[in-house]
Amino acid sequence: MNNSKQLLQRLSTLAEQHNLPNIGCSVVSSAIGESQFEDATPLAAYRRIVEGVKPEPNRAMLLGRYFEDGVRNMLAEEYGITCTQTQEYVSAPPLHGYIDGRINESTILEIKTTARGYESIPREYIIQANLYMLLANALLCTYAVFSFSNQELDIETIAFDDELTADVLARLIQFYERHVIPRVSPPATNPKEYRESIKIEEGKVVEVDCEDLLRKIHRLKIERDQYEHLLDEAKFELELMMGGAEKATYKGKRVASYSVSSYKTIDADKLKAKYPDIYNECLKISGPTLRLSINYNLLEKL
């Protein structure tokens, strides 16, 4: 851990000198651009650290948190793996976080839940685990991954990787020096972030030399439409094979099922007319949002 500890000390010194806000170990992969999730970007990490903007927890995240105790019970009852301590707080400012458990002095526990399971542990989770091991002074991390689709618990133990962790910390220091300390936000890396960060100059028209790009967009649109049509046909073929059954299985595992849902809506016009005060009180306005429209008619004439 020598290289990692030296860089962690450098990061902590930097945090003390500049009174830097903390960053959770789970956010580090976003800050250095290593996350697979579209909304976990360097800009999102910057906003979370500097501006305190936290993502709204979705149902999957909440369910995963609620299920952690159940995974610990499964580990104890089915595998004989028990924790000497749960939800242990570890920190070395600005890094901090909670480990899901400590199995022994050298091994910590990290619990994840997933809809369909992983072929391998995602890189951002490996980064998170290594940072936890560094802060907890542990050499091993046991990952317990519960899959809701097949209700199986996969267990894998990984060893601390000093080279990987040192590289992560070096890049995190660079992130703080380039962005957090000077308060310079990273560039947007996807359309959603870009549209949230720009201001449209109404009436302004710009001439762009983009014929090759327009041809590419046109070709990709045609291919997308073709694949969507083929996908719809294949799904319909499967539906015909089901013959009205609620579920279909392959080798005993569910591959398709029908779900029935109904929607209740409020007649906004009637509510506004009869109870305008209540309508205004309950009215929720979001946005404004930007949407890029492309002249596909022009593309077809190129």
The CATH number of residue 173's host domain is 3.90.320.10
Q: Answer yes or no: are the C-beta atoms of 69 and 83 closer than 8 Å.
A: no
Q: Does residue 140 form part of some domain? A: yes
DSSP label at residue 149: T
pLDDT greater than 80 at residue 116 = no
Q: Does residue 78 form part of some domain? A: yes
Q: Does residue 24 form part of some domain? A: yes
Give residue 279's pLDDT band: very low, low, confident or very high (50, 70, 90). confident
Q: Does residue 238 form part of some domain? A: no
Mean pLDDT across 133-155: 89
Here the tokens at position 278 are: 């209540």
Q: Does residue 152 form part of some domain? A: yes
- Claim: this prediction has a pTM higher than 0.85: no
Number of structural domains in the chain? 1
Q: Does residue 22 form part of some domain? A: yes
* Pairing status of strand 140-147 against strand 107-114: parallel
Give residue 9's pLDDT band: very low, low, confident or very high (50, 70, 90). very high
The reported pLDDT for the residue numbered 60 is: 63
Q: Does residue 300 form part of some domain? A: no
Mean of the per-residue pLDDT values of the chain:
88
Q: Does residue 258 form part of some domain? A: no
Cis peptide before 57 (omega within 30 of 0): no
Q: Which domain holds residue 116?
A: 2-196
Euclidean distance between CA atoms 269 and 76, whole angstroms: 57
Mean pLDDT across 87-97: 93
Give residue 189's pLDDT band: very low, low, confident or very high (50, 70, 90). confident
280 or 301: whose pLDDT is higher? 280
Q: Answer yes or no: are the C-beta atoms of 63 and 71 closer than 8 Å.
A: no
Euclidean distance between CA atoms 180 and 23, whole angstroms: 11
